[in-house]
Amino acid sequence: MTVQQIRYFGDPVLRTPAAEVVDFDRELHNLVRDLWDTMERQGGAGLAAPQLGVGLRVFTYHCGEAEGHMVNPVWTALDDEEQDGQEGCLSIPGLYWDCVRKKNVVARGWNMHGEPVEVRGSDLLARCIQHETDHLDGVLFLDRLDETTRKQAMKEIRRADWFDGAVPTLKQSPHPLFGAR
């Protein structure tokens, strides 16, 4: 379909929980294709609909040989094992920080045709599933950084060429897990 403009940190759509998809129609198919084309053009491992300004629970992923999309995804950890590693985001381009995530997860949802999908992932795929699902909940990976790293991240974001200064703080996450900071 079409490569779309990615929304950057500071855009309120990135802090707004996305709505469940109820219509598995041509518009959804077009959205999935736009997500895919944009993700591939930008070289990302994943891309969520809110990053294109669309408030629906949809994301695409391409992590090594694992690739696809999920609609209305829900993930669960397969065990208690965690991984700590570099994470980035197409909505925070060019900047990376260490972030702790579950190492092994399973995600369940649907494809764009309304058929059930289950994806099991470890390492990068598990990180991607969690990261993209966070986007659907209005959560950014910055919210998962420790306080010291988060403050340093905000300093780097403020210096980034793409940042327009619209959001000076991370206190805007509406997610109940984080509340007001």
pLDDT in tens, 82-129: 999 999 999 999 999 999 999 999 999 999 999 999 999 999 999 999
Best CATH choice for the domain 12-159 from the list 3.30.70.2190, 3.90.1150.10, 1.20.1250.20, 3.90.45.10: 3.90.45.10
- Please name the residue that has the structure tokens 């470890």: 122
- The tokens describing 155, both together, are 């300093």
The structure's pTM equals: 0.90
Decide if 69 contacts 47 (C-beta within 8 A): no
Specify the amino acid at residue 67. E
Q: Is 131 annotated as a binding residue?
A: yes
Closest CA relative to residue 59, chosen from 81, 44, 79: 44
Catalytic residue among 20, 82, 132, 147: 132
Q: Is 20 a catalytic residue?
A: no
CA distance 92 to 142: 10
Q: Is 63 annotated as a binding residue?
A: no
Determine the pLDDT at residue 166: 59
Q: Is 62 annotated as a binding residue?
A: no
* Residue 94 β-bridge partners: none
Q: How many helices (H) and strands (E) does the chain have?
A: 3, 7
Tens digits of residue pLDDT in 63-93: 999 999 999 999 999 999 999 999 999 999 9
Decide if 59 contacts 137 (C-beta within 8 A): no
